[in-house]
Amino acid sequence: MAQMLAARGYADIVLIDIVDGLPQGKALDIAEGGPWLRFSSTLTGSNDWADTAGSDLVVVTSGVPRRPGMTREDLLGTNAKIVRDVVGKAAAHSPDATLVIFANPMDAMCHVALEASGFPAERVIGQGGMLDTGRFRTFIAMETGTSVKDVSAWVLGGHTEATMVPVTSNASVGGVPLSRLLPPDRVRAVAERARRGGAEIVELLKTGSAFVAPAAATIEMVDSILLDERRILPCCVRLNGEYGVNGAYVGAPIRLGAGGAQAVYEIPLSDEELEGMRKAGDAVKELVAATPRE
């Protein structure tokens, strides 16, 4: 993320971590690529939150991955504690910032960040739908033998295999409905592959998970916020009745610009997709209820 943003050339970047030397070394390594990648962005590595003061945007990547023997409750408790601490410090030093939440389980961590920051909900946004949509569009292009540039498709709902809602009902390539390009069984197969996109990469790598696509998806959000591009993007936001979901962070199409989520849009969905959105909302609420408060 830091490297991609540095290459954009419009922002000063601070990397922060609790490990002494790690953010400093990462920042220096990226900066030393500037002469050849043709950017002169200022990068700072630090262990002191004071160096982040006055930030316009904070991307929260903190947390641990789920390890063997770790229950969902263990992961929730550990990452909630970390995110609560990180967001509290970020908000104290940058009270006008917008937060982009990348920590997992992302949907629930958005709720933790909202509470810890005290920010309005439009300034706390989750990244999930962006990555899942990127995967969905990639798989549609592969399956149809077309350019990914012409694919229009969304993944809404939650950021888990069980709660993702790949929207096939209005997916298209160059304006041609996906249902005209693929038979129903292949459409379902592409949607299922999108749901398992993260697991597929983990199975291939065996010792890690995806990082390039998640970074690219996140920096698209950063661009839209900091440059006030007002793009309509699939992000995780707190819904207030949209799609039948109230008071839960769920992926939906939003207008993303200065100050965060400027509007939430309800697009036509099939009955099955709409039910998926409601189930995603219920699942997030269940996860939030299980998240330790301290």
Domain-wise residue ranges, the chain:
2-126, 128-290
Q: Are strands 124-126 and 98-101 parallel, antiparallel or unpaired?
A: parallel
The SS3 of residue 170 is: strand
Query: Helix (H) and strand (E) counts for the chain?
Result: 11, 11
Biggest CA pair distance of the chain: 56
CA distance linking residue 118 with residue 116, whole number of Å: 6
What's the pLDDT score for residue 292?
83
> What residues are paired with 157 via a beta bridge?
164, 251
Q: Which regions in the chain score pLDDT beneath 70?
A: 66-73, 294
What's the pLDDT score for residue 127?
94
- Taking the chain, what is the end-to-end CA distance rounded to the nearest angstrom? 30
User: How far apart, in Å, are the Cα atoms of 244 and each of 7, 92, 106, 146, 252?
Assistant: 40, 34, 21, 35, 12
What's the pLDDT score for residue 266?
97
CA distance linking residue 216 with residue 211, whole number of Å: 9
Token pair for 134: 């990127």
What's the pLDDT score for residue 72?
64
Fold for 2-126, please state it: Rossmann fold (3.40.50)
Given 135, 137, 159, 238, the catalytic residue: 159
φ/ψ region of 259 (left if φ > 0, alpha if ψ in -120 to 50, else beta) reads: left
The three-point CA angle 24-30-34 to 5° equals 135
Residue of 191, 65, 58 lying closest to 116 (CA atoms)? 58
Active site residue 159: yes
- Residue 95, CB half-sphere, CA atoms under 13 Å: how many? 2
Kindly report the backbone phi and psi dihedral angles of residue 195, in degrees, each rounded to the nearest multiple of 5, phi listed first: -60, -35
pTM for the whole structure? 0.95
User: How far apart, in Å, are the Cα atoms of 2 and each of 48, 56, 235?
Assistant: 18, 15, 20
Kindly report the backbone phi and psi dihedral angles of residue 94, in degrees, each rounded to the nearest multiple of 5, phi listed first: -140, 70
The SS3 of residue 278 is: helix
Residue of 235, 252, 234 lying closest to 243 (CA atoms)? 252
Token pair for 187: 């459409």
Token pair for 261: 């989520």
The SS3 of residue 201 is: helix
What's the pLDDT score for residue 67?
67
What's the pLDDT score for residue 209?
87
What contacts 205, CB < 8 A, 6 or more positions away? none
How would you class 128 by CB atoms within 10 Å of its CB: exposed for 0-12, middle for 13-18, buried for 19 or more?
A: buried
How would you class 81 by CB atoms within 10 Å of its CB: exposed for 0-12, middle for 13-18, buried for 19 or more?
A: middle
Pick the CATH number of 128-290 from 3.90.110.10, 3.60.20.10, 3.30.465.10, 3.30.70.270: 3.90.110.10
